[in-house]
């Protein structure tokens, strides 16, 4: 039996959920966000000066021999916005939100690799969904903590501490930077 599932779980910081993102920028180590990537409508009723719509896209394929899982962090330009395009310091703060998304994509890959998948389809789906849901909850909490601690980048000394913390976390999870994971399920 073959099974293919695709799910998109996103964190849309301080924004309403979107129906279907038409455009995504997938996280890479070499490319940084620019203000040109923030194409969404400014939310007037928000206190923040910018908003990054960041999410994690996952899919898996199972054919009784192997489980092939793909996990990617993405940024949605049409749901991301800014009130100013002149503040490079704020842009760096928003980039860190994207980097946090990649941290949790890597944590998700790590949990998938460490999980004990059986060859039972229903158990695979449950384990998969549990990991995705737990990681997304953790990421959401971390993103909120980051904004509260830095006061959305206003506390510059605290922002520097978080910049280092986020970079170190990314580096510590470098072994999980490959989007694709191949797992052999165990016999039930």
Does position 18 have pLDDT exceeding 80, yes or no? no
Q: What angle do CA 184, 107, 58 make, to 5 degrees?
A: 65
pLDDT given for residue 27 in this prediction: 98
Residue 46: band (very low, low, confident or very high) from pLDDT cuts 50, 70, 90: confident
What is the DSSP-derived secondary structure letter of residue 118? B
For tokens 């779980």, the residue is 9
Average pLDDT rounded to a whole number, residues 38-46: 90
**Domain for residue 188, yes or no?**
no
Say how many residues make up the chain: 188
Percent helix, strand, coil in the chain, to 5, is 45, 20, 35
Nearest to residue 143, comparing CAs of 10, 25, 43?
Answer: 10
pLDDT given for residue 1 in this prediction: 38
Structural domains in the chain (count) = 1
Highest mean pLDDT among 2-6, 83-87, 146-150: 146-150
Give dist(CA 168, CA 95) in Å, integer.
15
Does position 16 have pLDDT exceeding 90, yes or no? no
Give dist(CA 38, CA 42) in Å, integer.
10
**Domain for residue 52, yes or no?**
yes
Range scoring the smallest mean pLDDT among 2-6, 31-35, 52-56, 160-164: 2-6
**Domain for residue 172, yes or no?**
yes
Q: Kindly tell me the sign of the dihedral angle through the C-alpha atoms of 165, 102, 108, 13.
A: positive
**Domain for residue 31, yes or no?**
yes
Q: Kindly tell me the sign of the dihedral angle through the C-alpha atoms of 163, 166, 170, 171.
A: positive
Find the domain containing 48 and state its range: 3-183
The pTM is what? 0.87
Give dist(CA 163, CA 91) in Å, integer.
13
**Domain for residue 32, yes or no?**
yes
Q: What is the pLDDT of residues 92-115, one digit of tens each?
A: 999 999 999 999 999 999 999 999
């Amino acid at each position: 039996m073959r099974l293919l599932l695709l799910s998109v779980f996103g964190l849309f910081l301080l924004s309403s959920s979107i129906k279907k993102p038409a455009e995504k920028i997938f996280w890479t180590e070499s490319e940084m966000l620019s203000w040109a990537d923030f194409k969404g409508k400014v939310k007037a009723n928000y206190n923040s000066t910018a908003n990054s719509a960041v999410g994690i896209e996952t899919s898996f394929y199972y054919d009784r021999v192997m489980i092939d899982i793909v996990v990617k962090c993405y940024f949605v330009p049409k749901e991301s916005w800014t009130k100013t395009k002149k503040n490079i310091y704020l842009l760096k703060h928003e980039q860190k939100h994207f980097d946090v998304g990649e941290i949790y994509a890597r944590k998700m890959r790590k949990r998938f690799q460490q999980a004990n998948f059986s060859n039972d389809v229903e158990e695979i789906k449950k384990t998969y969904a549990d990991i995705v849901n737990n990681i997304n909850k953790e990421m959401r909490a971390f993103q909120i903590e980051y904004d509260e601690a830095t006061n959305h980048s206003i506390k510059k000394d605290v922002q520097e501490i978080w910049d280092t913390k986020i970079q170190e976390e990314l580096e510590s999870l470098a072994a999980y930077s490959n989007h694709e994971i191949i797992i052999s399920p165990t016999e039930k």
